[in-house]
Amino acid sequence: FRGIGAAVGGRDYNSVDMSLRQLNETYLPPFKAAAEAGVATFMNSFNDINGIPATANKYILRDLLKGKWNFQGFVVSDWGSIGEMANHGYVKDNKEAAEKAIIAGSDMDMESRAYMAELPKLVQEGKVDPKFIDDAARRILVKKFEMGLFDDPYRFSNEKRQKDQTNNSENRKFGREFGSKSIVLLKNEKNILPLSRSTKTIALIGPFGKETTANHGFWSVAFKDDNQRIVTQFDGIKNQLDKNSTLLYAKGANVDNQDRSMFAEAVETAKKADVVIMTLGEGHAMSGEAKSRSNIHFSGVQEDLLKEIAKTGKPIVLMINAGRPLVFDWAADHVSSIVYTWWLGTEAGNSIADVLFGTVNPGGKLPMSFPRTEGQIPVYYNHYNTGRPAKNNTDRNYVSAYIDLDNDPKFPFGYGLSYTKFVYSDMNLSSTNLKGNQTLNISVKVSNTGNYDGEEVVQLYIRDLVGKVVRPVKELKGFQKVFIKKGESKTVNFTLTPENLKFYDEELNFDWESGDFDIMIGTNSQDVQTKRINWSK
């Protein structure tokens, strides 16, 4: 808490420099929602915000979180972040760090040991008012009381519960379900997917085919029996193939070196198959905390392997395993079927097979925009228009555009395909002229015109065309997931009130203005239907 996602250069722990308006409008709302939902604790981020480390940032901790938001839980430092303020150059030593942090609103010191050693002296010297110590202690003790730790300090040290919950079959069943629902179908031009279980020969090629740990991703709990416990992609696919079908495997390449010695075996394996499933991406320790990358293309020789397999002419389904968006332009332009499988956990192999063979019709959507190259980053759907907006991808003269690249992301925010086809029609608004605290009712008809039952995430965006501060070209204001059987239609309804129109001005007033607004509904942030309204105070 807060701003860690806006680090300069995309480098973990790095500085954050932004206006307070941007901080309040874009970066604080998710935390405010969490506070309102009753979350128990907040953790400071490592970064400084506009020159003040988050750990000693009175504005976000004491004034906003505990003041304006009336948060009653407690704030814990991240690992060593109180002592690390000396590295920032904000304090000279642990004693001054403890003073700054407790006054700003950090209640618990994780690992710096500055509070334990320095707070008694700071109080005795009159540098820290005891009220700050009392407030921090009260907040921590209240949570311990709520958890029942005064009645039983070892309440959560329950060996039977641990045994019952570890590898629990119901948990695994749920893991398989949400794994399959997390997969995003990016391309399926030739309708290779879903695969038939009776496909005579399938080849699984790539460094993740028989991986176990990589399916967990970074910062996950490891068990001694993970090699037996975690369902590999190979096993998940093999278990769903008919008994007369064959699944071949070739690793083809390592994740992160230049070894091409396995290419020949992989090519020969592909030639024997009717369909090739390529599994490429990031290793489990390549994405996550302190895993910043300047190059987010496929590492090592993975893309070269893909190109060699493509030369065989065999149909390819590409699965991308990663903890972030990667850049894979060649694949996106040359491979007909692509699924983004992320890292899906213990049941990864089964979740993936459920989607590949059509037991689950994918309905996941991208929660971020995918760049064409690193030079576009940051790339996001809710950008400003600028005074010289790029009107298209061909006229790049004296407009806000790259001379060597399209402005649009490779895949936009909210994007995700299905094995079926959804058609949007009959977008209706209850009024195009509203006044005061009226409510705008919005509806759209969504029809499943394909051959499979499926889920669609219907997305609502708005644009405030003129504001006292410039407004984004789109803002997501609602979304609904609906299940629609093939051949059927559903009407999806949304409502907007003036509360949805509010924004922060340059003086941090949170309000809305009279004016024209575009109302947009669609399947992603780019593919939308639009109608205009006027809303006056």
pLDDT at 226: 86
Peptide bond into 30 cis (omega under 30): no
Structural fold of domain 422-536 = Immunoglobulin-like (2.60.40)
101-116 pLDDT, tens digit per residue, is 999 999 999 999 999 9
Mean pLDDT of 520-524: 98
Crossing angle (nearest 10°) for helices 94-104 and 130-146: 70
Condensed to tens digits (0 to 9), the pLDDT of residues 228-263 reads: 899 999 999 999 999 999 999 999 999 999 999 999
pLDDT digits (tens, 9 = 90+) for 49-83: 999 999 999 999 999 999 999 999 999 999 999 99
| CA 280 and chain centroid, separation | 20
Q: Give residue for tokens 């996941």.
A: 364
The verdict on domain 4-146 having CATH code 3.20.20.300 is: yes
Residues 6+ apart with CB under 8 A from 421: 448, 449, 450
Predicted confidence (pLDDT) per residue in 294-344, tens digit: 999 999 999 999 999 999 999 999 999 999 999 999 999 999 999 999 999
**Stated pTM of the model:** 0.95
Q: Write down the pLDDT at residue 222.
A: 81
Q: pLDDT by residue (tens digit) across 478-505? A: 999 999 999 999 999 999 999 999 999 9
Contact 266, 308 (CB under 8 A): yes
Task: Return the CATH number of 170-356, one of 3.40.190.290, 3.40.50.1700, 3.10.105.10, 2.60.120.10.
Answer: 3.40.50.1700
Calculate mean pLDDT across residues 382-389.
96
Q: Which alpha helices (DSSP H) does 430-506 contain, by range? A: none
Measure Cα distances from 263 to 204, 260, 329, 346 in Å: 13, 5, 21, 29
Amino acid (1-letter code) at residue 203: A
pLDDT for the residue numbered 284: 85
Residues designated as active site: 78
Q: Report the pLDDT value the prediction gives residue 142, as an integer from 0 to 100.
A: 98
Helix residue ranges per DSSP H, 302-347: 302-310, 329-334
Mean pLDDT of 382-400: 91
User: Any idea where the domains of the chain sit in the sequence?
Assistant: 4-146, 170-356, 422-536
